[in-house]
């Protein structure tokens, strides 16, 4: 990843409505070159709509989305061939065998790599003579990923690739994606609500909430910015009416107070009623905790990094 390079995806003031219902609201998003970017958000947050708009699979209503520095609607054929998009439950021509599908896709992409396609087929344990209609869900997802990786794209967009996949299939998909990201330097943007699965994979995360990207940052930066501290209070001290500014969220359980806080330069002052509290633990925050606290929490506006 290189900060001096322009972002692969740049979304500005993007709004989208279904009738009266606002889905995306003046959304801004930058995805840097080479990032493995995980877009997280609740069901119905607009992840699919956003990815469709970026991939050019849905017409824009308001705002702009640029890929490779060019507006999505004006991408040249050559640029389009460097972007692959796998929709959730991607439809595939069921009547074709895998070999026929490969023969159909190859001429559409000048950079289609037959050797890579063959090695992915082998790695995913797929049978080229088998009809796609006769394949399992997991096998079809592997076919879709194979077709998305074989053109050696610069950008891969995937919508919920892991949904409903068993662990073995998931592992194969993940390893295929990791190879594309590390060996080819491709940028990956995928949406998921499988936070535990994505945590070790992603190096950038975005939280989609209320039609906007509430937080978009390198995962390491978020991890370094926050910590969880456990305090043992002397008696059941009531929670202060207003939390200290560097506290993101705090929960009381008996005498134990668990605080998700920002790392501050001075170490952070405790509110007066906690001055006598003993610190009994401090640890890193998980992506899940960050997501719950920052995307759905009460301090959204200050959370942008």
Partner 1 sequence: MLPFIVTLTSGESPFRQIVYAATKAVVSGELPEGSPFPSVRELSQALKINPNTAHKVVAELTRTGMLDVMPGLGTVVARRRKASAAERRDLLSREVEQLVVEAMRLGMTQMDVLNGVSARWAELSVPSSAMHSAVVAAPTGRNA
User: Which residues are paired to 266 by β-bridges?
Assistant: none
Q: Distance between CA 67 and CA 82 in Å, rounded?
A: 10
Identity of the residue, 56 or 153, whose beta carbon is nearer to partner 1 in the bound complex: 153
Asked whether the beta carbons of 149 and 176 are under 8 A apart, the reply is yes
Torsions phi, psi of 16, nearest 5? -150, 135
Smallest CA-to-CA distance from 288 within 212, 215, 191, 199 is with: 199
Identity of the residue, 28 or 203, whose beta carbon is nearer to partner 1 in the bound complex: 203
Query: Does residue number 284 form part of the binding site for partner 1 (CB under 8 A)?
Result: yes
Q: How many CA atoms lie within 13 A of 174 on its CB side?
A: 18
Helices 167-183 & 137-149 angle (0-180, nearest 10) = 0
Contacts (CB under 8 A) with partner 1, residues 66-85: none
Query: Does residue number 302 form part of the binding site for partner 1 (CB under 8 A)?
Result: no
Name, in order, each residue with C-beta under 8 angstroms of 225's C-beta and a sequence gap of 6 or more: 262, 263, 305
Contacts (CB under 8 A) with partner 1, residues 187-216: 195-196, 199-203
Q: How many residues bind partner 1 (CB under 8 A)?
A: 27
Which of 94, 171, 251, 302 contacts partner 1 by CB under 8 A? 171
Query: Does residue number 119 form part of the binding site for partner 1 (CB under 8 A)?
Result: no
Minimum separation from the CB atom of position 14 to partner 1 (A): 27
Q: Which stretch binds partner 1 (CB under 8 A): 79-87, 114-122, 124-132, 276-284?
A: 276-284
Identity of the residue, 1 or 239, whose beta carbon is nearer to partner 1 in the bound complex: 1
Strands, E, within 68-127: which ranges?
70-71, 83-86
Distance, C-alpha 183 to centroid of its chain = 20
Identity of the residue, 239 or 280, whose beta carbon is nearer to partner 1 in the bound complex: 280
Identity of the residue, 137 or 288, whose beta carbon is nearer to partner 1 in the bound complex: 288
Residue written as tokens 């790695």? 123
Contacting positions for partner 1 (CB under 8 A): 1, 36, 171, 174-175, 178-179, 181-183, 195-196, 199-203, 220, 223, 232, 280-281, 283-284, 286-288
């Amino acid at each position: 990843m290189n900060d001096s390079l322009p972002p692969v995806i740049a979304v500005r003031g993007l709004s989208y409505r279904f009738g009266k219902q606002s889905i995306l609201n003046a959304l801004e998003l930058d995805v840097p070159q080479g990032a493995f970017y995980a877009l997280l958000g609740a069901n119905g947050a607009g992840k699919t709509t956003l990815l469709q708009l970026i991939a050019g699979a849905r017409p824009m209503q308001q705002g702009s989305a640029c890929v490779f520095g060019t507006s999505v609607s004006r991408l040249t054929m050559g640029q389009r061939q460097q972007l692959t998009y796998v929709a959730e439950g991607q439809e595939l021509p069921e009547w074709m065998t895998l070999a026929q599908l490969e023969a159909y896709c190859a001429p559409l992409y000048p950079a289609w790599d037959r050797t890579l396609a063959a090695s992915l087929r082998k790695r995913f344990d797929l049978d080229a003579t088998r009809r796609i209609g006769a394949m399992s869900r997991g096998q079809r997802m592997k076919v879709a990923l194979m077709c998305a990786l074989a053109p050696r794209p610069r950008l891969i967009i995937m919508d919920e690739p892991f949904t409903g996949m068993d662990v073995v299939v998931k592992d194969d998909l993940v390893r295929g994606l990791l190879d594309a990201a590390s060996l080819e330097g491709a940028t990956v943007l995928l949406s998921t609500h499988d936070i535990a699965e994505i945590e070790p994979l992603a190096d950038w995360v975005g939280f989609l909430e209320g039609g906007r990207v509430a937080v978009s940052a390198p995962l390491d930066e978020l991890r370094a910015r926050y910590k969880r501290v456990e305090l043992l209070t002397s008696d059941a001290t009531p929670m202060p009416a207003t939390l200290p500014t560097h506290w993101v969220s705090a929960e009381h359980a008996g005498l134990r107070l668990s605080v998700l806080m920002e790392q501050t330069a001075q170490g952070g002052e405790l509110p007066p009623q906690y001055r006598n509290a003993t610190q009994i633990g401090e640890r890193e925050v998980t992506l899940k905790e960050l997501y719950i606290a920052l995307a759905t929490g009460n301090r959204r506006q200050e959370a942008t990094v």
